[in-house]
Amino acid sequence: MTLTRRQTLGLTAGTAAFLALSPRLTFAATSDTEAAIKAFTGGATPTAGTVSLDTPEIAENGNTVPVGVSVDSPMTSDNYVASVLILADGNPNPAVATFHFSAMSGAAEAKTRIRLAKTQNVIAVAKMSDGSTFMDTKEVKVTIGGCGG
């Protein structure tokens, strides 16, 4: 199929107009992620430890990335995990999931699949019944077509 000069110019102008008017994909700023963490923890700065985040180092498909989180806690009525927040700092909305637990949960563990827009950090923040907070961070590299890198 051959295009005339007029058709080529029309296609170029149409493509330019579409790109200019279409909404742009934006990613969360680091401040958005920090604000979400501060809101979840009530302003407290989480410490490292107690939370264990299980993510693949390389995700071949960013649409379904398996994520598991577990928190080392006795889960008694005096000392248990109240909730865990999962964040992805490169997604348009960094907050991905929140899991709520009680002393009757037995164990503070959860697994899910999340969508990652690009290579980014996945963060898990745990809030304990006594108000203390803990955090773990893992970088997940998202590849296109499973080609690595």
Query: How many folded domains does the chain comprise?
Result: 1
Residue 70 domain flag? yes
C-alpha to C-alpha distance for 10 and 142, rounded to whole angstroms: 36
Q: Is the pTM of this model over 0.85?
A: no
**Which pLDDT tens digits describe the chain residue by residue (149 residues)?**
787 877 776 777 666 655 555 554 455 567 899 999 999 999 999 999 999 999 999 998 999 999 999 999 999 999 999 999 999 999 989 999 999 999 999 999 999 999 998 999 999 999 999 999 999 999 999 987 555 55
Burial class (CB in 10 A: 0-12, 13-18, 19+), 144: exposed
Q: What is the SS3 assignment for 32?
A: helix
Residue 92's domain comprises 26-142
Residue 8 lies in a domain: no
Check the CA dihedral 39-109-134-102 and report its sign. positive
CATH code of the domain containing 117:
2.60.40.2470
Q: Tell me whether residue 56 is in a domain.
A: yes
